[in-house]
Amino acid sequence: MRSKVDVTTITSSFLIIGTFCHSYSMTSSHWKILSAWSKAGIGTNVVLELLPLSAVGPGRKKMKSLPRIAFDMGATPCFDDAIPAKYVFLSHGHIDHVGAVFSHARAHSVSCGGEAPTYFVPADLVPHLEQCREAMISLDASQMHNSNGGRKESLIQVNFISVKPGDEFILKGIHSGSKTSFFMRAFQVDHCGHPALGYVIGSRTTSGLKEEYQSLDNATLRELAMSGVVLQSDPIEKIEVAYTGDTCANGLKLDQMRPLSGDASEKSVLYKQQLFQAEVILCELTYLDSSEEEEGRRRAAERGHLHICELERLFMSNESNDDTRFDGPVESVSTCVLDRQTKHIVFYHLSGRCGPATRALDMIADGIPRQLHRRCQVAVSSLLTSDEKHSLGRLIQPNGCVSLMAYLAWRGRPK
C-alpha cells in the first residue's frame, strides 16, 4: 500500500512540475526569451526571439527565420544564439556586459551577408566604444608587411547609436505581420555613478478604421479623409519586455533621478514606470542573502546593485488593502504594484557566491515576497553544478531559467 502512495505522490509531483514548466514559458505577446545566461562580474547576455505569426494569430504563414534582439553582450555560452541579433541594447560599459561586442559584430556580419548589427549605447560611452572599434578593426586586419596575400580588411561591421534617458527608437525592419511594429524606450537607472540605462521593448499595432466609419464606402472615406477627418483608430501599444540592466534600488524608484532636461526627465520617469507594466520584466538581483539585510543593502547600494530585501519596496505597496491587481495568494495587506499583464519577473545577474543553483533558488524563495512566487523565473544556468544539471534537468527550461513554483514543487516546499 505504501508503495502505491509513494508512486502516486511522485507522479503527482512530476505532473505539477510539468504544468508549471509548460504554463510559465516566458513569452510576451510577440517575444520569447530564447536564452539567458548571467553571472555577476563574469558575463551577461539575454536573447529574445520574435514569436512566429502562427503563435500570435491563426492562419498566418511561417517565417523562414525569426528576428532576434539582445540585451547586453558579455562573453557567455549564449553567444551562438545571439549572433543573428540585429539590435543589441547595452545597459552600461562594464566588461562583463560588453566583452563580446566586437566578436558579435564580426560574427553577425559574416553570418548575415555583411550586415552591420546596431548597438544602442548610453551616450557617454559611445566615444569609448568608438576607440575600441578602431583598435579592434586594426587588430582584425593586421598582417605581416611582407605578406603577398590574405585578407587586408577587417570583417567587423558595427553601428553605435547614442542613447539618452527618455529616448525612443523604432526597431526598423522588425515586424509581426503587416500591422505590428516595435520600439525601444530608455530610462535612467543608478549603477553607482556609471553611465547606465534600462530599456523597455514595446509593440505598436494599427487597429484600422474607427468603428463609426467601417460601414462607409471608399468614395465616402476618401472625401472624409480629404476634409481632414481622422479615420484611423489610435494604434494599440503594449509594453512587452523590460530590462533593468545593472542598478541599485534607487535607480528603479520614480523619484530618484539625477537632473535632466525637463522633457527628457519626464519621459525617462514615464518609461521607467512602464517597466512595471511590462509583460515580462528582466530584473537584476545580485545580492540574495536576506539574513544580512542592513549590511547587504548597504553593500548593494555602494556597488550599484539590487539586494533581495529591496524587492518588497519596489514591487509591493503597503498603501492599499485592495488585492484585485494581483491574482496570486494574499499573505498580508501588501499588494502587488505590477500591472495585471505582467506575466513573469525573470531575475538574473546572480552572484557566484550564492551558488550552487539550488542554494540560490532557496535564498530567492525565502527572500522575495510570496505574492511574487507565481510570477518568478530565475536565470540559474550559470550556477548549475554537474550534479544539478542532472537532478534539476526536468526543471531547467531550454533558455536556462527555472520557474520558482516548479522548483518549490520539486523540493516539496510550501508555495
**Side chain identity at 271, as an amino acid letter?**
Y
Kindly tell me if the per-residue pLDDT of 314 is higher than 70.
yes
pLDDT tens by residue, 98-130: 999 999 999 999 999 999 999 999 999 999 999
Q: Is the pLDDT of residue 401 over 50?
A: yes
Q: Is 50 exceeded by the pLDDT of residue 311?
A: yes
The pLDDT value given to residue 225: 83
Position 243 pLDDT exceeds 90: yes
The pLDDT value given to residue 96: 98
Residue with cell 500591422: 179
Alpha-carbon distance of 396 to 361, in angstroms, equals: 12
pLDDT for the residue numbered 54: 64
- State residue 392's pLDDT score: 93
For residue 39, pLDDT beyond 90: yes
Q: What is the pLDDT of residues 365-383, one digit of tens each?
A: 999 988 899 999 999 999 9
Read off the pTM: 0.85
309 torsion bin: left (phi>0), alpha (psi -120 to 50), beta (else): alpha
Could you identify the residue written with the cell 561586442?
Answer: 101
For the chain, give the mean pLDDT.
84
Q: What is the pLDDT of residues 45-56, one digit of tens each?
A: 999 999 998 655
- Cα–Cα distance, 95 to 100 (Å, whole number): 8
Asked whether the predicted pLDDT for residue 2 surpasses 60, the reply is no
Residue 332 has pLDDT above 80, yes or no: no
Residue 5's pLDDT is what?
39
Q: Is the pLDDT of residue 131 over 60?
A: yes
Average pLDDT rounded to a whole number, residues 318-326: 37
Characterize 106-129 residue by residue with b for buried, 16 or more Cβ atoms within 10 angstroms of its Cβ, and e for exposed: bbbbeebeeeebbbbbbeebbeeb
